[in-house]
Chain A
Amino acid sequence: MSYIRPEFRHPNSPANERGYTRKDYEGGLSTLCAGCGHDSVSAAIIDACFELSIEPHRVAKISGIGCSSKTPTYFLGNSHGFNSVHGRMPSVATGANLANREMIYVGVSGDGDSASIGLGQFAHVTRRNLNMLYVVENNGCYGLTKGQDSATADIGSASKKGAPNPYAPIDLCTLALQLGATYVGRSFSGDKAQLVPLIKGALAHKGFAFLDVISPCVTFNDSAKSTKAYDFVREHAEATGKMDFVPVKQEITADYEPGYTQEVTLHDGSVIHLYKQDGDIENIAGRKSIRDRNEALRQVQQYKTNGKILTGLLYVDPDSQDFHNTLGTVSGALRDLGEKELCPGKQTLADINASFR
């Protein structure tokens, strides 16, 4: 088995605005099972960062435990990384983000890491609207421990072992919507045309951006009766509508199709265009506003009831105020604070104390 990728790349491999090629965003060679959906999610993150010309050193990747949480090793090898404790990625991300708000935070988690052991942490980081991209690579099973059903497995879905799952699933998008997430999407590892713009939008969004990416486990949960298998997802996924992400700098030259039904301008000036799917009246792009949280919740549930999976961008609040705004923290990274700011002197302390009297 190859454990090193050859050094050679396509001689015409394009460079982005910063002069980086895709190679500069790659990581080590994956040790996950061949065909694992997670590797496609890693590739989508690489594509998104490359296309947005994000400097690799400005990104921090944080993960918990599980197959999904191994993946940050396999992308953005020139970025910062923290492989934390099982289900505790949100705490570490929160700490890092508070210390340095200037970085781009990418949290990678799985259905076990976020919907079981880390469900509490997931709930609270969502509530706080921490400025980060939180990706759950959702395969409905515990792949690292031989494929037991996870908390996101649907009722009746059966993995390779064959026993149907008797428990009700946790829908992480519904949970995120209920808990106040300000950018919520669902996608599929096998659909990069949808996933890459979703990730780009999430990286540009200011606030908590949650993506539930169905990412089949080829080894344990790609069986005929599984609702997280490649075939099932392809047959049952229905997109909310095609989405274009137009970065702020490319706005003038962007090559996007006319005829979008909604336009959302994000905090940094970049724009999301949503297109209505032909013949699909119930889709989100066709509804009044992508900013309607109640409608998003209703539609996710509606699709589920009909045995379908609604994918694409489900909800966005472009005016979101992130955790730093709520707390009123300093404008820059803590590492930039000098002695004068950190030790403002006796008089300042006296003034503070006086204010409490």
Chain B
Amino acid sequence: MKPTDTSNPEYFHRVVDCQHACPAHTPVPEYIRLIAAERYTDAYMVNWESNVFPGVLGRTCDRPCEPACRRGRVEDEPVAICRLKRVAADNKADISDRLPKIPTQKNGKRVALVGAGPAALTVARDLAPLGYQLDLYDEQIKGGGFMRSQIPSFRLPETVLDEEVNYILNMGVVSQFDTYVESLKDLLGQGYDAVFVGSGAPKGRDLNVPGREAADASIHIGIDWLGSVAFEHTKKIGKRVIVLGGGNTAMDCCRTARRLGGEEVKVIVRSPFADMKASPWEKDDAQTEDIPIIDNHVPLEFVLENDKLVGMTFDRVVAEYNDAGKRSLVSTGEEPAFYACDEVLIAIGQENAFPWIERDIDIAFDQWEMPEVDRITFQSSNPKVFFGGDAAFGPENIITAVAHGHQAAISIDSFCQGDNVAERPLPGVTLVSQKMGIHEWSYDSSIEEDLRYKVPHADKKSALKDRRLEVELGFDIATAFKEAERCLNCDVQTVFSEALCIECDACMDICPTDCINFIDNDDEPALRQSLRVPADDLEQAIYVSDNLKTGRVMVKDEDVCLHCGLCAERCPTAAWDMQKFLYQVTQASVL
């Protein structure tokens, strides 16, 4: 193999699994160390700059970082990254003096933002400090988009959401709430220099089986119902409720139903339990609240008696997988199962809908009625119109919407300034030695070996009485410190200088996880197999040096490196050094 090119920032970025997996590439280990150092405000700002809604995300993020966390590969469970983020948000001081200054003299460019969800708010946050005039339109009466309408208060208190939405609205954004944009053509006609569409995926999928129309009064579309609860139009539900669907919206529906008077609430899902889209922790939380999840049941019919919904029937199925791993649900041939209920919530997915976008304004739509949006610039075929969040490529999550917003803001700025939108800024990267003395590092290399700590929950009885009472209480400071110390500091990179190496084997001998090898070079598949422990995880890179004096090469499998620094401590010539790698996605404005 050729020597690894560590001057390409993407190499070390890949090693920081959590940051790499995060759509917004938040520097996770960096803020976890700040939390351990009780520098909560600094930790919050690292987050805020990168993901805009740390308090919201610290409670509700889909956390793609956690399955990626290296700790999960050397031990049972990953670091509780998401809940540590919340610790920073909960314990921070006033940050108003750290917020960017908004110029009073505007730059003369006007941008309209459609939707006040995470994507559009991110665009606003990135463009406001540059002097853009920003008009924000949303049909709801407050900002936040689906963070407000679809995430129940017991998971995300309104105060937390208001605070983080207001940081942005207070940047001089002109918000026009309670205003549904009916025509993009009209909006463009108002002379905006650019329009950002962050209108989400607002349409809940319906279930058209017999009885649907007749029982309409007792059947609700999940996301609409959640929004109606959030804005207090709906305050109660029948005693027996069936929730259809296996995603996080279904979990939010069933738990909300429990708080609105639902005594026998069931989740009934087509797929096997393990295949459900809901995050495992959300399924746990639902089950803790006495909500059974019945899997492998395909809805057949809404059953009515005297024009009133009395229950539903389901076909019992088993999942079969073909050689390609494709699943089909096959009926067991048993009698249909009947479940009695008073009301049904349908949470089987959501879709995009753009009835307000005319088809004659140069925005191309594909066969699925989705706008054709560039995956890097987020520009549509009408160069003035940009998309982001769920509106761009279909339903995702908050952190993805934020990542879209940052990139769209860069594009909008380039476009408005007459620059080439396709030219993207390079990431900001630093790589700094952590050496403090002969064997001392400026990071805490000795990690906590405890298992993942659980976040304490509010008493179930009181939680079920009050839909606003937050269930998760968050880590206390002592537990947060211990959990933070579980982080392996994967951003502190093992950097190897072949010219200094005397091949004494000390690093190879000390490495607790057998990552380091001194062997004859070969092609990658052969090299991977000839290591002390074969490097079978092809997702993880192997770090190959140039030829050493004996003609061998150093090969390090990055997979389960603990970043403990022992290789560098045992190196007599400092051929190994521990260097902190900070990778920051460049944004439209430098905060």
A residues near B (Cβ < 8 Å) are 1-2, 4-14, 22, 29-30, 33-37, 39-40, 42-43, 189-190, 192, 216, 218, 222, 230-231, 234
CB distance from B426 to the nearest CB of A (A): 35
Instruction: Using known A-B contacts A6-B562, A12-B533, A12-B536, determine if residue A234 contacts B504 with beta carbons closer than 8 Å.
Output: no
Of chain A, the residue at the smallest CB distance from B440 is: A1
| Known contacts A13-B514, A13-B533, A39-B570: A8-B75 contact under CB 8 Å | yes
Instruction: Please indicate the chain A residues that have their CB under 8 angstroms from the CB of B570 in the complex.
Output: 30, 34-35, 39
Please indicate the chain B residues that have their CB under 8 angstroms from the CB of A216 in the complex. 504
Please, which residues of chain B bring their CB within 8 A of the CB of A6? 446-447, 449, 512, 562, 564
Q: 22 A–B contact pairs at CB < 8 A?
A: A2-B439, A2-B566, A5-B512, A5-B566, A6-B447, A8-B512, A9-B513, A10-B513, A10-B533, A12-B533, A13-B514, A30-B570, A34-B439, A35-B502, A37-B504, A40-B505, A42-B509, A43-B508, A230-B503, A231-B502, A231-B549, A234-B550
Name the contact of B572 in the complex, choosing from A4, A5, A35 (C-beta under 8 A): A35
- Report the nearest A residue to B574, measured CB to CB: A34
Shortest CB distance A345–B (Å)? 56
Query: Quick one: which of A12, A40, A222, A230 contacts B509, CB cutoff 8 A?
Result: A40
A192 to B519, CA, bound (A): 11
Contact B560 A190, beta carbon cutoff 8 Å: no
Specify which of B440, B505, B510, B513 is in contact with A192 (CB 8 Å cutoff). Answer: B505
Enumerate chain B residues within 8 angstroms of A11, measured Cβ to Cβ: 73-74, 560
Does the CB pair B534–A12 fall under 8 Å? Answer: yes
Find the residue from A2, A39, A192, A234 having the highest chain B CB count within 10 A: A2
Q: Is B509 a contact of A39 with CB atoms below 8 Å?
A: yes
State the Cβ distance, B3 to closest chain A Cβ, in Å: 22
Q: How far is the CA of A13 from the CA of B534 in the complex (A)?
A: 9
CA distance A29 to B439 in the complex (A): 14
Most buried by B among A8, A12, A43, A190: A8
Query: Is B504 touching A230 in the complex (CB atoms < 8 A)?
Result: yes
**C-alpha spacing A29/B571, complex, angstroms:** 14
- Complex Cα distance, B533 from A26, in Å, reads 17
**CA of A62 to CA of B299 in the docked complex: distance in angstroms?**
74
**Taking the complex as formed, is B252 at the interface, i.e. its CB lies under 8 A from any CB of chain A?**
no
Residues of A within 8 A of B34 (CB): none
Are B569 and A35 within 8 A (Cβ)?
Answer: no
Q: Is the CB of B533 within 8 A of A14?
A: yes
A6 CA / B572 CA spacing, docked (Å)? 21
**Distance in Å: Cβ of A12 to nearest Cβ of chain B:** 5
Cα(A218)–Cα(B534), bound, Å: 31
Minimum C-beta distance from B325 to chain A (A): 24
Instruction: State A42–B510 Cα separation when bound (angstroms).
Output: 11
B residues less than 8 Å from A36 (CB atoms): 504, 506, 572
Is B433's beta carbon under 8 Å from chain A? no
> B504 and A40: CB pair below 8 A?
yes
Instruction: Give CA–CA (A234, B536) in the complex, Å.
Output: 33
Which of A12, A33, A34, A35 has the largest number of chain B CB atoms within 10 A? A34
Residues of A within 8 A of B502 (CB): 35, 218, 222, 230-231
Chain A residues near B569 (CB-CB < 8 A): 1-2, 34
Q: B573 contacts the other chain (Cβ, under 8 Å)?
A: yes
Q: Kindly state whether residue B565 has any CB partner on chain A within 8 Å.
A: yes
B589 interface residue per 8 A CB criterion = no
Contact among A4, A34, A35, A40 for B446, CB-based, below 8 A: A4
B window 491-507: CB within 8 A of A: 502-506
Given the interface contacts A8-B512, A9-B512, A218-B572, does A2 sit within 8 Å of B445 by beta carbon? yes
Closest to B566 in A: A2
Q: A8-B513, A11-B74, A33-B572 are in contact. Are A2 and B506 (CB under 8 A)?
A: no
Contacts of A231 in B (CB 8 A): 502, 549
Known: A2-B566, A5-B510, A222-B502. 20 other contacts (CB 8 A): A2-B446, A2-B565, A7-B449, A8-B512, A9-B512, A9-B514, A11-B560, A12-B534, A12-B536, A33-B572, A36-B506, A39-B506, A39-B509, A40-B509, A43-B509, A190-B503, A190-B504, A222-B572, A230-B504, A231-B549
Q: Which residue of B lies closest to A23 (CB)?
A: B512
Instruction: Chain B residues near A230: list those with CB within 8 A.
Output: 502-504
Q: Are B562 and A8 in contact (CB under 8 A)?
A: yes
- Listed residue (B445, B446, B505, B515) with the most chain A CB atoms within 10 angstroms of its CB: B505
Q: Is the CB of B560 within 8 A of A35?
A: no
**How far, in angstroms, from A43 to B506 measured CA to CA in the complex?**
9
Docked Cα-Cα span, A40 to B571, in Å, equals 12
- Residues of chain A within 8 A of B572, CB atoms compared: 33-36, 218, 222
In the complex with contacts A2-B446, A8-B74, A35-B506 CB distance below 8 A: yes
The CB with the most chain A CB atoms within 10 A, among B438, B445, B509, B569, is that of B509
Which B-chain residue is minimally distant from A43 (CB atoms)? Answer: B509
Q: Across the A-B interface, give the 3 residue pairs with the lowest CB-CB distance, nearest first.
A: A35-B572, A1-B439, A43-B509
Query: B511 — nearest CB in chain A belongs to which residue?
Result: A10
Q: Is the CB of B505 within 8 A of A43?
A: yes
Question: Nearest Cβ distance between residue A267 and chain B, in whole angstroms?
Answer: 31
Q: Do A35 and B533 contact each other (CB < 8 Å), given the known contacts A5-B512, A234-B550?
A: no
Cα distance, A32 to B533, chains bound together (Å) = 26
Q: Which residue of B lies closest to A229 (CB)?
A: B502
Query: Which A residues are CB-close (under 8 A) to B508?
Result: 43
Query: How far, in whole Å, are A321 and B560 apart by their CA atoms in the complex?
Result: 48
A34 to B505, CA, bound (A): 10
Q: Are A40 and B506 in contact (CB under 8 A)?
A: yes
CB distance from B419 to the nearest CB of A (A): 48
Cα-based distance from A190 to B502 in the complex (angstroms): 9
Which residue on chain A has the smallest CB distance to residue B532? A10
Given the known interface contacts A4-B446, A7-B449, A230-B504, the answer about A35 and B573 at a Cβ–Cβ threshold of 8 Å is yes
Report the minimal beta-carbon distance from A81 to chain B, rounded to whole angstroms: 19
A6 to B485 alpha-carbon distance, docked (Å): 13
Give the residues in chain A near B75, CB-CB below 8 Å: 8
Interface centre among A7, A12, A40 (most CB of B within 10 A): A12
A53 to B75 Cα, complex, angstroms:
26
List, in ascending order, chain B residues with CB within 8 A of A222's CB. 502, 572
B549 to chain A, nearest CB (A): 7
Contact of A34 among B74, B445, B447, B571 (CB under 8 A): B571
Bound CA–CA A35/B573 (angstroms): 8
Which chain B residue lies CB-closest to A35? B572
Contacts of A234 in B (CB 8 A): 503, 549-550
The reply to whether B534 and A34 form a contact with Cβ atoms under 8 Å apart is no
Report the separation of the CA atoms of residues A35 and B534 in the bound assembly, to the nearest whole angstrom: 25
With a cutoff of 8 Å between Cβ atoms, the chain B residues found around residue A10 in the complex are 74, 513-515, 533, 560
A235 CB, min distance to chain B CBs, angstroms: 10
A14 to B532, CA, bound (A): 9
Q: Is the CB of A35 within 8 A of B504?
A: yes
Say whether B510 contacts A39, CB under 8 Å.
Answer: yes
Q: How far does the alpha carbon of A216 sit from the alpha carbon of B506 in the complex, in Å? A: 12
A192 to B504, CA, bound (A): 10
A72 to chain B, nearest CB (A): 15
- Cα of A248 to Cα of B502 in the assembled complex, Å: 36
Q: Please give, as numbers and ranges, the residues of chain A lying within 8 Å of B505 by CB-CB distance.
A: 39-40, 43, 189-190, 192
